[in-house]
Structure 1
Amino acid sequence: MILLDSFLIRAALAGLGVALAAGPLGCFVVWRRMAYFGDATAHATILGVALALALEVPILAGALVVALAMALAIWWLSGRGEATDTLLGVMAHSALAFGLVAVAFLPGVRIDLMAYLFGDILSVGRIDLLVIWGGAALVTALLAWRWQRLLTSTLGADLAHAAGIDPRREQLILTLSLAVVVAVAIKVVGVLLIAALLLIPAAAARRFVRTPETMALAAAGLGGVAALGGVWASWAWDTPTGPTIVCIAALIFAAATAVRRGGG
């Protein structure tokens, strides 16, 4: 399509694709207080980037494999009662540090680490768009399929067991979905900002909605507004696009909080 020849159109579509998946998934992150899960998974993808470069495989493949491995490790540790906030923080920052050091040891490889840390959405190509929207569609379809089970297990393990639902399995599905979204979003907002894109639109949507379904839809919509607004503001004011998207999301959250308080 001729429209995709414009880097701004590709950037807008990439941001929108990530936002549509991150919004509903972010609701579960907020409800379950899983912010550190997202951070640990996101930070681990830098190690995946280093491994991909060392093995000469696609960056997305390395990031996805390591993100999935970290997600499985987090899920396993949480089942043993060991996944405290402190342990998750250690895993998140350690994975990021090891990834950065590993990149420095790669001979003859020069990469722009800022692009992976904060995103490089303006360089998104057609193949990247296909990967982003494919990953977003997969996660969205999975959430829609498991929606009621995920909600029930989020309310409480005892309620889930009473309904014949395995809460550990639902947590695994959420954790793996986080890994997929993190991997496909690395080029859009980078590993340091993806957790913000998961949390902020969902937190803003929570101010106005009464049902989980409307919160998921509102979070996706607000995330889309932040993505499109961030791309436009970045182009207009020549600012880094990934951080600008998060800034727009933060302004939306601040406005939502002010309106909510003003309305009582």
Structure 2
Amino acid sequence: MKKIAFITGATSGIGKATAEALAPHFKLILCGRRADRLAAISEAMPTETRTLCFDVRNQSEVFDAINSLSPEWRKIDLLINNAGNAHGLDLIHEGSLEDFDAMIDINVKGLIYVSKAIVPEMVERDCGHIINISSIAGKEVYPKGGVYCASKHAVTALSDGMRMELNPYNIKVGNVCPGAVDTEFSAVRFKGDLEKAAKVYEGYEPLVAQDIAEVIAFMALRPDHVNISDITILPKAQGSATIFNRK
């Protein structure tokens, strides 16, 4: 029988690509805020699928949605904490508190809420695998991205903490830190300004969502005794969070 993978932020970008990469190997629970996209993606999957529409920032929505699953579908083997966003690119004293709150609420608290709803069942079964999607910003800090970097540093720290705390329960925990990936990320960061978003990827070949999905699938499909605990993946043209070869 196929195991069950639970993916947050599955309506676009890395989440959607990860669902496609895992579909041959897992049954899927796809989560996101856009019900129409969830339905379309679910329908295209070559595996048994369930969808849950909720906002990871809303604690009650998270628990209500996950608790609505049947007992069979509550036995989640693989949790991909992918939901996350960047909002704005501003100096700390000029940025919007609304943007700062959104990044902390989605990237940090959302991951905590989803994990808190799912991990106790993994502990009870003495098995499971969690893969958290952090960022190169979870390893480095850059100007005008302090709060975003702080939120992704928190994801990396949570991954390390979860790995230690869940070790006695045979639960594997991995952390993925992508560099520049051409998805909706920059369009969201720049609040729909597609021209500004496009400039982020000018002059070099960025990663695409499928590149990250292949890494996630590789981690998920290792033998049970193998845990890839932390991985950073960059496009060839990227030397650090802020250094790019744009020739």
Q: Structure 1-normalised TM-score? A: 0.31
Q: Structure 2-normalised TM-score? A: 0.32
Structure with greater strand percent: 2
Rg larger in 1 or in 2? 1
Structure with greater helix percent: 1
Higher relative contact order (CA 8 A, sep 6+): 1
